[in-house]
Structure 1
Amino acid sequence: MGYILRAIDETETIKISAAITTDVVEEATKIHKLSKTTSAALGRVLTAASIIGSWQKNEEDSITLSINGDGPAGRIVATCKNDGFVKGYVTNPTADLPIRESDSKIDVSGIVGKGNLTLVMDTGMKKPYTGTVNLTTGEIAEDLAVYFSQSDQVPSAVGLGVLVDVDYSIKAAGGFIIQLMPDATEEQISKLEENLKNLPSVTSILDEYHDAEKLIEIIMKDINFKILEKREITYKCNCSREKVEDAIVSVGPKEIEEILREDKKAEVSCYFCDKVYNFDESDLERMLKKAKDINKNRKIIIQDNF
């Protein structure tokens, strides 16, 4: 099971969250049968979504982080509620690229390509907040830092890492997000910048320690801090047969009638957990009746409004 630590420095002007997500990314890799490169890409997005999701106030609040690139992976999505459950998917899970020759690292930027990063925050208001920025590197961590700077006007540093073993299992995964408050002094900023400049790769720290507090200690060297919270995170999909039925009903009577006429059955796979739901002719007829009833009631409500 993964976990997140939230911490703050003694002047309360530097906020840092660090996560260990090895088990979370391993579960995603098994479910989606990911390649080494899509494991690294989705793992970074899952880690980031888990951290940002832990910042929300209410248990039902959720965030969805999506990387919409033109690379071989296609769309990469992760969504997390404030209950510690995170899930995600890649449009083309088996897409892969060779190790990058320039630095001998997994080619995440190559598998992602050019495009944009979108963050949707649903806090129960009428309309969720949505922010989008263009991808600058496709490495995800740097792109997320740009998002915080441009959309939230919060100076941030982001580090995300996934270490894939030779058998494609996940040896280590995790990361951190640091954000500076407006009252941060030049001295604090300089010290933090120096620490980040000398920071080893996130994957090397995770591989050696597998410890979020140690990751924070290394980043916050010579800066006093305190841990505010520890929160567990788990890869979990909350799909159900009932939710899939509701989704089919929502497409409307015309579409359901077409399915009945052409196939007399429906098979629906969940993007997030690959679970397959099968519906036979009697199921579809029942859903068709429900869809017609909803349409009928909607017309009555519209007429009553005039």
Structure 2
Amino acid sequence: MNDYLVKAVAYQNQVRAYAVNSTTTVAEAQRRHAAWPTAADALGRSITAGVILGAMLKGDEKLSVKINGGGPLGTIIVDSNAKGEVRGYVSNPQTDFEMNEVGKAVGTNGLLTVSKDVGLMHPFVGQIPLISGEIGEDYTSYLSKSEQTASAVRVGVLVNSDYTVKAAGGFIIQLMPGADEDVMKIIEERVKVIAPLSSMIAKGTTPEQILEHILGSDHVTVLESMPVQFQCQCSMDRISNAIISLGSEEIQDMIQTDGHAEANCHFCNETYHFDTEHLEALKRAAL
């Protein structure tokens, strides 16, 4: 099954909700970065929550999430947009704990920062101190404190013994202004008792069914669905233009010193190779 995300409303538009199966997307991130289980879990949770936040955007808007809690994982970076495209990486992907303690790996001595590019001169930036490093709880805190939206965020990743990803997904449920207290209590109680998301997805539970479990099949209305995928914006042309921007003298130094150049993309771990002939062409373009 291809990854996809659903958008829904419930309780007569008092609630908006998003749920996603991100298994293939997270598996691609794990593969590209050769991430060990705890790192794959943390990165996968971050990617899952990030792609849901991206789905809240419109048109060509996009966002970037940075998580750094001072733990051994280092920094987690996730980029996403309104089209369901997401990419991400973690500074130290070969990090693992026996009990898969994501909070310990991420740490809590740091910040979660969300930067949204909505087409204005400057991006909107929201930032909160990490409260647990468990990702879902931290995103819940961000939405509540930075965007003043009462939300419930759950994300989960199930990693196989061979380090591949078996299941990944999550949901964000938000109360609209003026929502009834009874509705709030119902959702709170159902979120508390829901089974682990990664286990539900591994058993074949769909995003629609996840929302029905929480909101009740009689109350939830799915508005639309959209495909989700790991998609990086890097390319040979982009890297070539970046090298050209260095100037002809810098490119000549590359030719004389090494005779070639390599560039690696942090997000997708793709390496681009430039031989002497290619560098000579870029040097001419830089003149």
**Relative to structure 2, which stretch is displaced further, 73-82 or 157-166?**
73-82
Post-superposition offset of 1:96: 1.5
Return the offset for 1:279.
1.5
Provide, for residues 242-271 of structure 1, a one-character-per-residue CA deviation record: whole Å limited to 9, x for no partner: 101122233455644543443232110111
Stretch deviating more after TM superposition (30-39 or 277-286):
277-286
CA contact (8 A) 2:264 2:271 kept: yes
Q: Which moved more, 1:153-162 or 1:10-19?
A: 10-19
Query: Which SS does the other structure have where 2:73 is aligned?
Result: coil
**Contact 1:172–1:210 at 8 Å: present in 2 too?**
no
Give the Cα separation in 2 of the matches to 1:127 and 1:259.
35
Of all paired residues, the percent bearing the same amino acid is: 37
Residue 245 in 1 paired to residue 245 in 2?
no
Instruction: Give the TM-score of the pair, scaled to structure 1.
Output: 0.87
Aligned to 1:28: 29
Q: How far apart are residue 281 of structure 1 and its match?
A: 3.2
TM-score (norm 2): 0.92
Distance 1:107 1:129 in 2: 32
Shift of 1:199: 2.1
- Structure number with greater Rg is 1
Aligned runs of 1:138-149 on 2, under 5 Å?
138-149=133-144
Task: Look up the SS of the partner of 2:76 in the other structure.
Answer: strand
User: Mind listing any 5+ residue stretches in structure 2 that lack a counterpart?
Assistant: none
- Bigger mean CA offset, 195-204 vs 156-165: 195-204
Partner of 1:30, secondary structure, is: helix
Q: Deviations over 1:120-161 (max 9, x none)?
A: 111222222221111110001111111111111111110000
Q: How big is each residue's C-alpha offset from its partner over 1:165-223, in whole Å with a ceiling of 9 and x where there is no partner? A: 22222121100001111110111111111212222222232233331111101111376
Output the amino acid matched with 2:219: N
**Helix, strand or coil: the match of 1:267?**
strand
Counting only pairs closer than 5 Å after superposition, residues 51-200 of structure 1 correspond to structure 2 as 51-58=52-59, 60-99=60-99, 106-113=100-107, 114-200=109-195
Count of residue pairs brought into register by the alignment: 285
Amino acid at match of 1:167: D
Q: Which residue of 1 aligns with 2:40?
A: 39
1:264 to 259, 265, 269: 259
Distance 1:137 1:250 in 2: 42
Measure, in 2, the Cα distance between the counterparts of 1:182 and 1:132.
22
Work out the CA distance in 2 between the residues paired with 1:257 and 1:126. Answer: 36
**Structure 1 unaligned residues grouped into runs of 5+:** 100-105, 293-306
Structure 1 position 289, deviation (Å): 4.5
Amino acid corresponding to residue 81 of structure 1 in structure 2: N
* Separation in 2, partners of 1:69, 1:145: 16
1:265–1:280 contact (8 Å) kept in structure 2? yes
Deviation larger for 11-20 or 195-204: 195-204
| CA pair 24-89 structure 1, distance change in 2 beyond 3 A | same
Matched residue type, 1:231? M
| Structure 2 contact 11–183 (Cα < 8 Å) conserved | no
Q: Take 2:175 and 2:247, find their aligned partners in 1: how far apart are those partners?
A: 48
Given that 2:32 and 2:268 are in contact with CA atoms closer than 8 Å, whether structure 1 keeps it comes out as: yes
What is the match of residue 15 of structure 1?
16
Rounded Cα–Cα distance in structure 1 between residues aligned with 2:158 and 2:103: 16
* 4+ long deviations beyond 6 Å: none
**233-242 or 137-146: which moved more?**
233-242
2:104 & 2:230 partners in 1: Cα distance? 26
Tell me what 1:302 maps to.
none
Shift of 1:286: 3.8
Distance 1:38 1:158 in 2: 20
Residues 9 and 221, structure 2, Cα contact 8 Å, conserved in 1: yes
